[in-house]
């Protein structure tokens, strides 16, 4: 590729705009009339949730860059200021499309199911209004804290992501003399308009059911409060009221080198999130101009960050609407994960692992064996030590409970709790303190790095000596999200991997840095070089006239060095299929650069989260799983693990997963040369969805196994591991 400038900005897609394209694909699912109605509501809610985080982190970071005078361009040739302008335009288009879908498609369709959602309290019947007013008096009024703004009461703190109702109020004329001998209080005969606000309390259910003979009818809590807002300001006339919501800069700024106690510093910074700079304002398009001006001036919101919307503010509420009972016919049937049949329930888990490596595909297969692995280790008299990394765990984590039990049983328990896991900082601080109290040795991560790897090591004393059992995974130790995210995990007692696992924890807990590794590759030290080497090897094979082949599945792709290596491989003739759920900065279809690259994005009922990397290697195929995406933050600023899968039975399963996802023409979107995504052409083809197929296969597998597991065979898909997709 002599003479080609692979850093040419025209060869790349801006990261932030690519993320918004992902939200477009999610919104596409909300628009899809072939999907059950309540599932469409869920996707609509996810778009709002994604935009919240996008603004709190990505947009906030770009605004900080602009404020600091930072003008360096990204790999797509855009300055921070240019990115913000493009983001604003694209986000306003996205939100307009979101509300158009909500108003024109979803709300009418919901009415046909028997669910009526009132857009305004003005739509209440007399009977419903009486019910709502009584509900307000008994359940809502005691919780509210109205806040007026005047010379003695400054503009209040509006909490990040909270829903509020702003109002303009005017003091009533009472006929009484104030201290100045004037009527109506301090303002004299002409009362001044003042601003007041009340937060819609998050402790109350935002969905308020109304009495209804046929079907269900609901109204949202903010409408109940707005209808009764005059009861909060008895000495005032309420001129107008309207809901609003703001987003603040929530990206933590922590100087770890200067922090004496990282835990205390993060606790302090998390509290400051509520005081971050306001960067986005959502209001209804009917908001009075005077009320909006007060909000804009006080919050210092820029015009491009004001979102005037036609409908309910904050559509994340529809995740709660999704949970309403009585509408199961409009939802997908809940899939129940099947047992991991390679683990014999009649013997301890260690015996099963000693027989062979065990691969688990969640959520199609249960996450329970991972929880049981820790539980059994906690109670097994022969287990000497348990070591684990925790990035995100569930609210009432059984794994945390098992680790506590292990420490109480005298095991040596070491746990790295990543305190810097974004938006899980508070939870992880609680877990860290609990584990320490139970007697576990808790590590708070490495200075300057996030520990994102997923690894558990159990050290067990057996008849033939010490044996190490290891669990490695692509996803978090979170039993709740394991039912929603597609991930892969592997149990092994391979001696070489066990030695590497010990080295990982020694590196995390101290200053031991091994000179070499047996099987594992770690970021930020060696993993990126490993990937570049593997891609380069396929390039060499293609240059030498052999078949080059790469299939890589991940969440995001935006590392420029990796993309350049893929461009070189494509130019050499390597066939490259990428399955990238979210951000993808690589462009396809560039003549002589990316002709041989395809990019698939699957947006389905489960969130695609696994990372699988396949390299043909002249027929000596290599498969890897990892906690890392091909992003600079994963490869350069986090502790990540890449591990090989070498058992042929297990690699056959991995090929089956990749092959099925590349054949998906139901939930897949294909990246086009112009940066947009399109559904595959299904003309003349059988419709095929990979997630549906995996669910069916799981059910078939469950049905094929007899009650006596010893008399059953292990399920291996009948495929050609080395074949083409």
Residues designated catalytic: 452
How would you classify residue 76: left for phi > 0, otherwise alpha for psi between -120 and 50, otherwise beta?
alpha
Partnered with residue 167 across adjacent β-strands are 196, 241
Report the alpha-carbon distance of residue 678 to residue 112 in Å, rounded: 30
Q: Rounded CA gap, 450 and 252, in Å? A: 13
> How far apart (Å, rounded) are the C-alpha atoms in residues 676 and 24?
10
Residue 123 vs residues 107, 116, 283, 388: alpha-carbon distances, Å:
15, 11, 20, 55
3-state secondary structure of 248: strand
My answer on whether omega of the bond before 362 falls inside 30° of 0, hence cis, is no
- Nearest alpha-carbon partner for 635 in 553, 704, 490, 532: 532
Query: Is-contact 228 141, C-beta < 8 A?
Result: yes
Tokens, residue 359: 């691969």
Instruction: Compute the distance between CA of residue 87 and CA of residue 717 in angstroms, rounded to an integer.
Output: 44
Q: How many CA atoms lie within 13 A of 511 on its CB side?
A: 0
* Distance between CA atoms of residues 119 and 121, nearest Å: 7
**Nearest to residue 16, comparing CAs of 70, 53, 69?**
53
Q: How far apart are CA 224 and CA 204, in angstroms?
A: 12
Task: Write phi, then psi, for 450 (nearest 5 degrees).
Answer: -100, 140
Q: How far out from the chain centre does Cα 686 lie?
A: 32
Rounded Cα gap, residues 673 and 671, in angstroms: 7
- Which residue stretches of 202-330 are H helix? 221-227, 262-272, 289-299, 318-322
Q: Which residues pair with 626 in a beta bridge?
A: 642
Is-contact 405 378, C-beta < 8 A?
yes
Query: For the stretch 583-622, what's the b/e string if a residue is b when 16 or more beta carbons lie within 10 angstroms of its beta carbon?
Result: bbbbbbebeebbebbbbbbbbbbbbbbbbbbbbbeeeebe
């Amino acid at each position: 590729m002599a003479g080609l400038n692979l850093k040419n900005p025209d060869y790349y897609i801006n990261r932030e705009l690519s993320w918004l394209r992902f939200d477009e694909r999610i919104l596409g699912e909300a628009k899809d009339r072939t999907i059950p109605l309540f599932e469409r509501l869920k996707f609509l809610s996810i778009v709002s949730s994604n935009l919240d985080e996008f603004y709190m982190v990505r947009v906030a970071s770009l605004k900080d860059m602009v404020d600091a005078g930072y003008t360096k361009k990204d790999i797509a040739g855009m300055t921070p200021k240019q990115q913000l302008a493009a983001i604003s335009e694209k986000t306003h288009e996205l939100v307009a499309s979101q509300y158009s879908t909500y108003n024109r498609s979803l709300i009418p369709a919901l009415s046909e199911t028997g669910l009526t959602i009132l857009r305004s309290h003005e739509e209440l019947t007399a009977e419903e209004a009486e019910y709502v007013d009584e509900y307000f008096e008994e359940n809502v009024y005691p919780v509210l804290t109205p806040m007026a703004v005047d010379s003695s009461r400054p503009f209040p703190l509006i909490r990040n992501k909270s829903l509020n109702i702003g109002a303009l109020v005017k003091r009533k004329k009472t006929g009484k003399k104030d201290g100045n001998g004037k009527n109506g209080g301090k303002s004299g005969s002409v009362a001044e308009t003042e601003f007041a606000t009340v937060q819609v309390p998050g402790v109350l259910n935002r969905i308020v059911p109304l009495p209804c003979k046929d079907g269900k009818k609901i109204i949202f809590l903010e409408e109940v409060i707005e209808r009764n807002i005059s009861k909060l300001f008895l000495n005032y006339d309420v001129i107008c009221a309207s809901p609003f919501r703001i987003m603040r800069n929530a990206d933590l700024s922590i100087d770890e080198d200067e922090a004496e106690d990282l835990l205390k510093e993060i606790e302090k910074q998390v509290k400051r999130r509520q005081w971050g700079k306001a960067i986005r304002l959502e209001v209804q398009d009917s908001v009075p101009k005077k009320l909006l001006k007060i909000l804009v001036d006080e919050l210092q919101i820029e015009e491009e960050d004001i979102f005037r919307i036609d409908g309910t503010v904050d559509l994340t509420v529809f995740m709660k609407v999704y949970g309403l009972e009585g509408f199961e016919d409009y939802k997908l049937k809940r899939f129940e994960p099947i047992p991991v049949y390679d683990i014999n329930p009649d013997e301890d888990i260690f015996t099963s692992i000693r027989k062979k490596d065990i691969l688990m595909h969640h959520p199609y297969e249960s996450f329970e064996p991972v929880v049981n692995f820790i539980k059994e280790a906690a109670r097994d008299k022969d287990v000497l030590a348990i070591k684990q990394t925790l990035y995100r765990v569930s609210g009432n984590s059984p794994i945390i409970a098992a680790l506590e039990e292990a420490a109480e049983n005298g095991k040596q328990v070491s746990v790295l709790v990543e305190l810097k896991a974004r938006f899980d900082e508070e939870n992880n601080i609680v877990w860290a303190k609990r584990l320490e109290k139970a007697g576990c040795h808790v590590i708070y991560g490495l200075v300057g790095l996030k520990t994102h790897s997923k690894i558990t090591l159990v050290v067990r004393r057996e008849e033939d000596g010490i044996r190490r059992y290891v669990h490695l995974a692509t996803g978090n130790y979170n039993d709740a999200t394991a039912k929603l995210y597609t991930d892969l995990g592997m149990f092994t007692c391979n001696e070489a991997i066990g030695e590497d696992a010990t080295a990982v924890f020694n590196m995390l807990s101290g200053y031991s840095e091994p000179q070499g590794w047996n099987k594992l590759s770690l970021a930020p030290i060696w993993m990126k070089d490993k990937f570049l080497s593997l891609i380069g090897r396929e390039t060499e094979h293609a240059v030498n006239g052999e078949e080059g082949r790469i299939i890589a599945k991940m969440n995001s792709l935006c590392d420029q060095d990796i993309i350049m290596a893929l461009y070189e491989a494509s130019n050499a003739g390597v066939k490259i299929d990428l399955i990238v759920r979210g951000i993808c900065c690589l462009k396809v279809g560039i003549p002589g650069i990316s002709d041989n690259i395809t990019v698939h994005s699957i947006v389905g009922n489960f969130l695609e989260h696994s990372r699988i990397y396949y390299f043909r290697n002249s027929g000596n195929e290599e498969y890897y799983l990892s906690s890392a995406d091909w992003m600079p933050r994963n490869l350069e600023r986090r502790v990540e693990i890449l591990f090989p899968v070498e058992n042929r039975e297990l690699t056959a399963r991995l090929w089956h997963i990749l092959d099925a996802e590349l054949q998906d023409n139901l939930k897949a979107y294909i990246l086009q040369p112009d940066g947009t995504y399109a559904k595959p052409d299904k003309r003349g083809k059988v419709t095929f969805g990979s997630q549906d197929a995996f669910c069916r296969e799981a059910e078939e597998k469950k049905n094929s196994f007899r009650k006596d597991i010893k008399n059953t065979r292990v399920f291996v898909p009948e495929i050609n591991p080395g074949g083409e997709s």
